[in-house]
Structure formats: structure tokens, C-alpha cells
């Protein structure tokens, strides 16, 4: 088990990519704190996983990642329960979109920046301070997006926040390397999470067609990559962006080619 003995804090861990990653980490031997704004859902997930033969390997804490004191408290709670912190997965995020000129900043800018951008900054800061204090190093993994590297429809604010995650990751890797800390960002493409699954079958099919396998990526497939990045097997991966987009960035549109 590649994560045996490691302790991880996963934000947004009660659903989607976060929950899939919690399950993967526990199966790989880690102890995991599920941090989520929905404490009831996080506690239910923790109880279910513990009941599957992982008693003592999972716990839950409520956290609003847009508030630094709460992120700091989640880190402290993780250390209190499990004794240390080795990995933080800054995964909590929200989506939303509207044409730029129709924006209400209080709705279409501020909440997304606070969660998707500030929340990652707070996670990096709180975990980085804990890693330095422990003197044991650590790994910071943060969820960016394909939108963090390109323009897209209805994503002015979301893209900016996800681009900031990439910049945060590079700077954190540079500044925290002396403390034995690695920082990596991932850029998922179209993933079958509750955010996307709420849409019509027609729209989901359109999303799927934007990827090379012509289907939505499963959260578990993202979790597999995150588990590898958190492991010692990935020690040479630092300060970089790992694309987990099933080729979304490779092409723009499938064409019916003419006969040559």
C-alpha cells in the first residue's frame, strides 16, 4: 500500500473527486480527515468508510475553506486526531458561470474567488506551516482545471481562480522546497461529479465528446492519480501541473474528414 502510515486532509471530501480520493487513500493505507462545508455529509461518509473495515482510519471535520481560521483549525484537528499531517489535497471548489457583461460581482465573482482561489491559498499556507513545524516535509496537491490554462465559455471568474491555483502551486514548490515540501496541481477535464451529473443527458454527451475516450472521466480515475502524486513514488514531481483531462486540451473539435 503506497500510502501506508501517511495522514491526509482532503477538502471537499464528502462528494465527487474528494470522496473518491478519500476512499482511495484509505485503501492505500492512509489515515484521512474528510473536510467539507457539509459536516453531516462528511460524517456520514466517514462512518460508512469506517464500517467497511477501516475503523480508526477516517474522521470528519466541518470547514468553510474561504475562511482561513477554519482551514487552520481543520489542519490542527487532523494533527490532534492522527498525530501529524503528511498530505493536503486542496480540492474543495464551486462552479458557476454567466457572460461577463451580465456579472453581479457579489454573485459571479466574489464567492468563486473566495472558495476556488482563496481556499487553496489558505490550505497551502496552513499545511505549509504545519509541515515546517513538524520538520517532516509533506505534499500539497491542489485541484486546478483545464479552464485554468485556457479561455472557455461562461468561465471568466472560474478560469481566473483555477489559473491562480497553478501559480500558487509553482510558487509554493519554490518557497517550501527547503522544508521538504512538494506542491503539485492537477487539471481535470470533464469529470462525472455531482456538478456535471445534474445536467441533461444531451449536455453530458457534449461534454464527453470533448475528450478522447468520448466519455466523462470517473472521479475514481482522478483519485488514482492523486494517490500516486501523494506517494513517495512521485518524489520527482514538484512544482508542476499534471493534466488529467483525457486529452481535452489536445484538440478542439472532432471533424468529419473529406476523402482525399
Find the helix or strand (DSSP H, E) in which 75 lies: helix 68-82
161, 116 contact by CB (below 8 A)? yes
Q: Which pLDDT value is given to residue 152?
A: 87
Ordered structural domains, the chain, with CATH:
7-189+220-243 (3.40.50.720)
- Using pLDDT thresholds of 50, 70 and 90, give the confidence band for residue 252: confident
What pLDDT, on the 0 to 100 scale, is given for residue 199? 85
Classify 256 as helix, strand or coil.
coil
Compute the half-sphere exposure of residue 50: CA atoms within 13 Å on the CB side of its CA.
Answer: 16
Residue among 1, 2, 7 at smallest CA distance from 138 = 7
- Give me the active site residues, please: 158
pLDDT digits (tens, 9 = 90+) for 104-125: 999 999 999 999 999 999 999 9
Contact between 82 and 31 (Cβ < 8 Å): yes
What are the phi and psi torsion angles at 235 (to 5°)?
A: -60, -25
Give the pLDDT confidence of 153-211 residue by residue, as tens digits. Answer: 899 999 999 999 999 999 999 999 999 999 999 999 999 998 888 888 998 998 999 99
Residues paired with 134 in a beta bridge: none
Query: Is pLDDT at 253 greater than 80 in this prediction?
Result: no
Percentage of the chain modeled with pLDDT above 70: 100
Q: What is the pLDDT of residue 93?
A: 96
Encode 196-240 in three state secondary structure.
HHCCCHHHHHHHHHCCCCCCCECHHHHHHHHHHHHCHHHCCCCCC
Model-level pTM?
Answer: 0.96
Q: What does the CA dihedral 64, 67, 73, 79 come to, rounded to 10 degrees?
A: 80
> Measured between alpha carbons, how far is 103 from 143 in angstroms, rounded to an integer?
25
6 SS3 class: coil
Amino acid at each position: 500500500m503506497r500510502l501506508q502510515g501517511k495522514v491526509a486532509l482532503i477538502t471537499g471530501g464528502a462528494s465527487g473527486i474528494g470522496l473518491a480520493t478519500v476512499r482511495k487513500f484509505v485503501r492505500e493505507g492512509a489515515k484521512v480527515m474528510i473536510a467539507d462545508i457539509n459536516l453531516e455529509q462528511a460524517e456520514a461518509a466517514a462512518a460508512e468508510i469506517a464500517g467497511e473495515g477501516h475503523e480508526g482510519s477516517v474522521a470528519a471535520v466541518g470547514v468553510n475553506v474561504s475562511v482561513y481560521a477554519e482551514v487552520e483549525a481543520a489542519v490542527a484537528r487532523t494533527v490532534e486526531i492522527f498525530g501529524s499531517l503528511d498530505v493536503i489535497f486542496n480540492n474543495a471548489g464551486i462552479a458557476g458561470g454567466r457572460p461577463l457583461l451580465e456579472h453581479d460581482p457579489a454573485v459571479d465573482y466574489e464567492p468563486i474567488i473566495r472558495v476556488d482561489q482563496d481556499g487553496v491559498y489558505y490550505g497551502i499556507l496552513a499545511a505549509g506551516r504545519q509541515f515546517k513545524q513538524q520538520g517532516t516535509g509533506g505534499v500539497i496537491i491542489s485541484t486546478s482545471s483545464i479552464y485554468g490554462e485556457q479561455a472557455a465559455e461562461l468561465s471568466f471568474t472560474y478560469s481566473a481562480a483555477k489559473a491562480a491555483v497553478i501559480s500558487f502551486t509553482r510558487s509554493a514548490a519554490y518557497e517550501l522546497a527547503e522544508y521538504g515540501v512538494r506542491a503539485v496541481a492537477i487539471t481535470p477535464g470533464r469529470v462525472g461529479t455531482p456538478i456535471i451529473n445534474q445536467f441533461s443527458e444531451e449536455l453530458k454527451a457534449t461534454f464527453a465528446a470533448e475528450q478522447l475516450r468520448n466519455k466523462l472521466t470517473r472521479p475514481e480515475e482522478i483519485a488514482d492519480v492523486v494517490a500516486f502524486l501523494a506517494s513517495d513514488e512521485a518524489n520527482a514531481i514538484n512544482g508542476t501541473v499534471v493534466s488529467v483531462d483525457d486529452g481535452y486540451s489536445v484538440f478542439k473539435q472532432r471533424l468529419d474528414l473529406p476523402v482525399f
